[in-house]
């Protein structure tokens, strides 16, 4: 079947092949030839488009089925042995019951297809912080995306040896082919109810069925690097987080590494690749989505980016919002669900150029600006090797990781939350992480619009275990080292609006001004005033030189509105009820102390 000395891996591959019944099995070596041949298979079958090689060398476009365009949160399950160990009752199914259901779906699901076995490493191969997984998938699209997003192939298998630990990741698009049947452009299970993104945390195992898209199918990313790794991290005393990692160098050459957790639509990738708006400072990228942090021998937290690529949202990405992402995707990029221009290039809403007179939209139909439809799906993506980003920090693949000085937590809030707020200590920082979130802008129930969706550490869709226990784990991390060695936690908000409903802060590259204050605080020169909610910059502490912003606007950005905060406290109390008995008492105490300081 496959040649490996790893008995457990061999047995698992044989078991899966016997269940899924593929026509053949291919063990991925991770070579460039293999990558090219996967792409060619799909282009030859009419399932993908090679873009204009002069404009976008090495680039391809794929269009997914309209029903398969994003992560399916309502079909994502955590099958822990005990229901209380799951993040919430609605995502829990008893593991044996779920396996029995899914085995019926998997039975024969790869007929007419090749079963690919993809050994992959999350993190630099051999790093003490890295972990190995093996994904079995019947999708060549998954193979070439995994090649970009992780490190795959023979070297990983060699590192695994004959008895190394690995996470079992099984994926099928859920569309077997009868003899002679032509494949569809984007095979997937026809109905949402047939899709399953299942996690078995105790067994360190993932079973995904029915979707070929993004986080549902590229199992190294959200399923492994967040949901399963979070359980490993809890058991082993480290952190697996939904965070960017950036490197900031000040004019004297001093370097700081900063992690940041933001819910979607907060410009996380833009911040990770930010171009500072004033001279002398430099921002470089270590990672844009996930950070694994472990204690080093010196008692500090060291982070690696477990990924090797970016799976970024295309719409809204432009030379204004993220010039470094635009430069990254000039070549060797897989585009999914973007518009195809008549000269073989890509286009999407918010790309910063005028809409072409005609293109082929993400569903493969003719499109003109008068169509009244989106040319690119709102969740259209680019997959690109991180190494192509012109501002990757040299140490982004350092197996030792980078020492973290600060952690940002934030959300999209029109009011109440100031531009930046420094936590008073670790527990207060964890409290800030637990209350972060964004206002709901679209909702099935209109009453929800404007309400805050609390998204602790931006992990709401990615918890692998009980969310109260997760926050308790954060608190316990704070006890593992000297307080002075822990990163400082900052609550940021780029999205505060004025009475005219306009954003007060310009955002994008100007966010570097806030980063500057943060590192000044860390080095002891930044000025701050203690308020009931935390330490805020003094009126003159944020460098606004060369920026067209009034003192009144700055005052509004840094205002602590006690009335608004008391409403916030009531809303947090309500949210904390959802934790039940698992709410850490330290966080209840933080909330009580905040209320006291406000009144």
Euclidean distance between the first and final Cα of the chain, in Å? 69
Task: Choose between 71 and 195: whose C-beta lies nearer to ligand O2Y.
Answer: 71
CB 122 to ligand O2Y: min, Å: 14
What are the backbone angles phi and psi of residue 209, rounded to the nearest 5°?
A: -140, 135
DSSP 8-state secondary structure symbol assigned to residue 222: I
CB 71 to ligand O2Y: min, Å: 4
Residue of 28, 59, 266, 389 with catalytic role? 266
Q: Which of Mn ion, ligand O2Y, none does residue 92 bind (CB under 5 to 8 Å by kind)?
A: none
Q: Following DSSP, what letter does each residue of 360-377 receive, concatenated?
A: E-TTS-EE-GGG-S-SS-
Task: Choose between 243 and 404: whose C-beta lies nearer to ligand O2Y.
Answer: 243
- Which positions touch Mn ion (CB under 5 A)? 289
Task: Choose between 95 and 461: whose C-beta lies nearer to Mn ion.
Answer: 461
Q: Which of ligand O2Y, Mn ion, none does residue 213 bind (CB under 5 to 8 Å by kind)?
A: ligand O2Y
Task: Choose between 25 and 228: whose C-beta lies nearer to ligand O2Y.
Answer: 228
- Which positions touch ligand O2Y (CB under 6 A)? 70-71, 213-215, 264, 289, 311, 379
- Contact indicator for 273, 386 with CB cutoff of 8 Å: no
**Alpha-carbon gap, residue 413 to 46, rounded angstroms:** 44
Q: Helix, strand, or coil here: 346?
A: strand
CB 288 to ligand O2Y: min, Å: 7
**Alpha-carbon gap, residue 259 to 45, rounded angstroms:** 42
CB 372 to ligand O2Y: min, Å: 24
Q: Which of ligand O2Y, Mn ion, none does residue 292 bind (CB under 5 to 8 Å by kind)?
A: none
CB 289 to Mn ion: min, Å: 4
Q: Which of Mn ion, ligand O2Y, none does residue 579 bind (CB under 5 to 8 Å by kind)?
A: none
Q: Helix, strand, or coil here: 192?
A: helix
Closest residue to bound ligand O2Y by CB: 214
Q: Which of 384, 421, 411 is nearest to 273 (CA)?
A: 384
Integer angstrom CA distances of residue 430 from 277, 464, 488, 558: 30, 18, 10, 21
DSSP 8-state secondary structure symbol assigned to residue 56: S
Q: List Cβ neighbours of 279 (8 Å cut-off, separation of 6 or more).
A: 251
DSSP 8-state secondary structure symbol assigned to residue 208: E
**Alpha-carbon gap, residue 589 to 592, rounded angstroms:** 5
Q: List Cβ neighbours of 597 (8 Å cut-off, separation of 6 or more).
A: 532, 533
Burial class (CB in 10 A: 0-12, 13-18, 19+), 425: middle
Record the tokens describing residue 131, joined without a space: 């972990």
CB 520 to ligand O2Y: min, Å: 30
How many CB atoms are closer than 10 A to CB 505? 24
What are the backbone angles phi and psi of residue 282, rounded to the nearest 5°?
A: -135, 135
CB 400 to ligand O2Y: min, Å: 25
- Contact indicator for 337, 379 with CB cutoff of 8 Å: yes
Task: Choose between 244 and 519: whose C-beta lies nearer to ligand O2Y.
Answer: 244
Task: Choose between 130 and 383: whose C-beta lies nearer to ligand O2Y.
Answer: 383
Task: Choose between 284 and 289: whose C-beta lies nearer to Mn ion.
Answer: 289
Catalytic residue at 266?
Answer: yes
| Residues marked as catalytic | 266
């Amino acid at each position: 079947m496959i040649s490996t000395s790893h008995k457990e891996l061999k047995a698992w591959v044989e078991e899966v092949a016997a269940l899924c019944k593929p026509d053949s099995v291919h063990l991925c070596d991770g070579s460039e030839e293999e990558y090219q041949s996967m792409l060619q298979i799909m282009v030859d079958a009419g399932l993908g488009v090679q873009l204009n090689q002069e404009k976008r060398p090495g680039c391809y476009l794929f269009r997914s089925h309209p029903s398969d365009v994003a992560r399916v949160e309502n079909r994502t399950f955590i099958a822990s042995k005990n229901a209380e160990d799951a993040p919430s009752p609605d995502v829990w199914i008893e593991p044996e019951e779920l396996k029995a259901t899914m085995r019926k779906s998997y039975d024969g699901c790869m007929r007419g297809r090749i079963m690919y076995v993809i050994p992959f490493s999350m993190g630099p191969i051999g790093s003490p912080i890295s972990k190995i997984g093996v994904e079995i998938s019947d999708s060549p699209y998954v193979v070439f995306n995994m090649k970009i997003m992780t490190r795959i192939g023979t070297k990983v298998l060699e590192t695994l040896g004959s008895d190394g630990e690995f996470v079992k990741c099984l994926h099928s698009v859920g569309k077997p082919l009868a003899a002679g049947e032509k494949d569809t452009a984007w095979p997937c299970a026809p109905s949402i109810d047939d899709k399953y993104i299942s996690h078995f945390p105790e067994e360190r195992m993932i079973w995904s069925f029915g979707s070929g898209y993004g986080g549902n199918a590229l199992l190294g990313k959200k399923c492994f690097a967040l949901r399963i790794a979070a359980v490993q991290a809890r058991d082993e005393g480290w952190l697996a987080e939904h965070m960017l990692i950036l490197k900031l160098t000040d004019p004297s050459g001093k370097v700081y590494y900063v992690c940041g957790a933001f819910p979607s639509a907060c410009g996380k990738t833009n911040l990770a690749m930010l171009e500072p708006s004033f001279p002398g400072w430099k921002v470089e990228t270590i990672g844009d989505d996930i950070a694994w942090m472990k204690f080093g021998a010196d008692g500090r937290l060291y982070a690696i980016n477990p990924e090797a690529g970016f799976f970024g949202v295309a719409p809204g990405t432009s030379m204004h919002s993220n010039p470094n992402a635009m430069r990254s995707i000039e070549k060797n990029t897989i585009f999914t669900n973007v518009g195809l221009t008549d000269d073989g290039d890509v286009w999407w809403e918010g790309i910063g150029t005028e809409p072409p007179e005609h293109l082929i939209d993400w569903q493969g139909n003719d499109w003109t600006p008068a169509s009244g439809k989106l040319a690119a799906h709102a969740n259209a993506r680019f997959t690109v090797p991180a190494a192509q980003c012109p501002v990757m920090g040299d140490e982004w693949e350092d197996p030792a990781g980078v020492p973290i000085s600060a952690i940002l937590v934030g959300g999209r809030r029109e009011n109440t939350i100031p531009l930046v707020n420094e936590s008073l200590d670790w527990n207060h920082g964890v409290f800030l992480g637990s209350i972060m979130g964004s206002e709901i802008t679209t909702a099935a129930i209109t009453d929800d619009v404007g309400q805050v969706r609390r998204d602790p550490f931006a992990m709401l869709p990615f918890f692998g275990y009980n969310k109260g226990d997760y926050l308790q784990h954060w608190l316990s991390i704070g006890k593992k080292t000297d307080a002075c060695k822990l990163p400082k936690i900052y609550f940021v908000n780029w999205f505060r609006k004025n009475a005219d409903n306009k954003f007060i802060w310009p955002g994008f590259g100007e966010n570097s001004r806030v980063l500057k204050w943060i590192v000044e605080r860390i080095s002891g020169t930044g000025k701050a005033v203690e308020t009931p909610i935390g330490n805020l910059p003094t009126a003159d502490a944020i460098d606004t030189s060369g920026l067209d912003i009034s003192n009144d606007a700055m005052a509004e950005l840094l205002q602590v509105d006690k009335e608004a905060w008391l409403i916030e406290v009531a809303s947090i109390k309500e949210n904390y009820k959802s934790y039940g008995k698992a709410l850490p008492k330290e966080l209840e105490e933080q909330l009580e102390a905040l209320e006291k300081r406000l009144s």
